Amino acid sequence: MNLTGKSAIAERTLCAIALGSNLGDSRAILEAALQSLAATPDITLKARSSWYQTKAVGPPQPDYLNGCALLHVETPPQQLLETLLAIETQFGRIRRERWGPRSLDLDLLLYDDLILETPTLQLPHPRMRERAFVLVPLAQIAPDWIEPVSGKAIAQLLQAVDCSEVHRI
């Protein structure tokens, strides 16, 4: 044990997150959010996708820039979610309406093969299997990851969605 009470070799968990933005300089916001994540203790950025322009889901609003990242984390899922929400706030995220425009959206998609349902967190993300704007970038960096509810690889899930409005930039 070291002085913090953690073992010197802490268990690292692989996680997948989705990133999105359609307000402000979206590309700069997304890049800065990745830098914030990488600078966060107990989080290591393992991989990131390209950015994709996608049509918005919900009320009329500008197109989104979306992407995904893989993280190694040494924190439990609820604490990781709190970190993601704090980073959203740091970048000006204000929650006005469901599926409304936003400066930054960070969604925890997968936390290893954990299946979890709490009042504030559901893993895997409950709508990821039907969203091309999530599956396209996730398949770029983790095509063989098995989504634990369906038992299908991300690349297989991608084959079942319409990707016509997801464009790599």
Task: Give the residue numbers annotated as catalytic, written as ranges.
Answer: 93, 102, 105, 107
Distances (CA, A) of 33 to 1, 74, 75, 88, 129: 32, 19, 18, 8, 24
DSSP E strands in the chain: the ranges are 13-21, 43-48, 52-54, 64-73, 105-111, 116-117, 122-123, 146-147, 152-153, 166-168
- What CA–CA distance (Å, rounded) separates 7 from 50? 35
Distances (CA, A) of 26 to 37, 65, 91: 16, 7, 11
